[in-house]
Amino acid sequence: MSVRLWKRLFARLAVWVILAGLFLLLLVVANSTWHVYQKQREAAHEYNLQAEALVDLEARNESLRRKLSALNTDRGIEEELRERFSVAKPGEEVIVLVDAEKSGVDGNAESRESIWQSFLDWVSYTRD
């Protein structure tokens, strides 16, 4: 081989080595950029969670401040005692309201038959 062919071969080899090196450098930079991007997304998500928690805590703080200011008055103390312990002053009566739907009590004066009674009535009707 002549010197000229060696130079051409060396030039081509050098170009390919440089291109491969640049490609590897591009991969390293892209990988680093991707990791930074993912960490930024995680940080933004965590920031949003903490911002929501802060809003909840501020609302709770305001609610507790209102309750505390209400407890500084005699009326507020009385309301809290009545709410928590179902107590009444001497001479008062406590009335407990029961929801008819939840308790199963029928609001009508008529009583309903049980399922078994209805079944027995049906069976005795079919025998006749």
Residues 60 and 53 sit within 8 Å (Cβ to Cβ):
no
Neighbours of 79 (CB within 10 A): 13
- Distance, in Å, from the CA atom of 74 to the CA atom of 90, rounded to the nearest integer, reads 17
> Residue 102: what pLDDT?
62
Mean pLDDT value across residues 101-126:
66
pLDDT tens profile 5-39: 989 999 999 999 999 999 999 999 999 999 999 99
- Distance, in Å, from the CA atom of 28 to the CA atom of 16, rounded to the nearest integer, reads 18
The pTM of the whole model exceeds 0.85: no
| Contacts of residue 105, Cβ cutoff 8 Å, sequence gap at least 6 | 98
> Residue 23: what pLDDT?
97
| Contacts of residue 98, Cβ cutoff 8 Å, sequence gap at least 6 | 105
Q: For the residues of 66-116, what is the DSSP string, one character each?
A: HHHHHHTSHHHHHHHHHHHH----TT--------HHHHT--SSSSPPPPHH
Mean pLDDT taken over the chain: 86
Q: What would the two tokens of residue 54 be?
A: 């802060």
Reported as a pLDDT band with limits 50, 70 and 90, residue 105 is low
pLDDT tens profile 67-77: 999 999 999 88
How big is the chain by its Cα radius of gyration, in Å? 41
